[in-house]
Amino acid sequence: MTKPKAFGRDGVSMAARIAAIPGGYLLVSLICACLARLLPVDRVEAVTVSMLISFLLYALILLWVFAARSVVKLWLWMAAAAMPAGTVLLISLWTGGRL
């Protein structure tokens, strides 16, 4: 019986993928907040719709995290997706209300 490697290449890759779970949560939270502020409906309805979309989006991101071949590309994609969402949210907060 062979002993699994504790700190091998696969261990680092798996650790990076596990760390992508909170990163995916952060990404989905940013997108959810942007949707809640940008949807042209009442505030309660916008929050409800954005939360329903966030459940689907988070499940899709988690599937993609564990299917990605490169951890570096995974993190770069998540950072690239978070930048516009964070920028839109920041601008929306600076303007003092929903866009």
Chain segment 8-28, per-residue pLDDT in tens: 456 667 777 777 788 889 999
Alpha-carbon span 66 to 16, nearest angstrom:
10
**pLDDT digits over 44-96, tens only?**
999 999 999 999 999 998 888 888 878 888 888 889 999 999 999 999 889 87
Q: Give a yes or no: residue 9 inside a domain.
A: no
Q: Which residues contact 50 (CB under 8 A, 6 or more apart)?
A: 32, 33, 35, 36, 39
Q: Give a yes or no: residue 25 inside a domain.
A: yes
Report the sign of the C-alpha dihedral through residues 8, 13, 14, 19, in that order.
positive
Alpha-carbon distance values, 99 to 8, 9, 25, 43, 90 (Å): 48, 46, 24, 12, 11
Residue 36's domain spans which residues?
18-93
Number of domains making up the chain: 1
Q: Give a yes or no: residue 10 inside a domain.
A: no
What is the token pair recorded at 20?
A: 């992508």
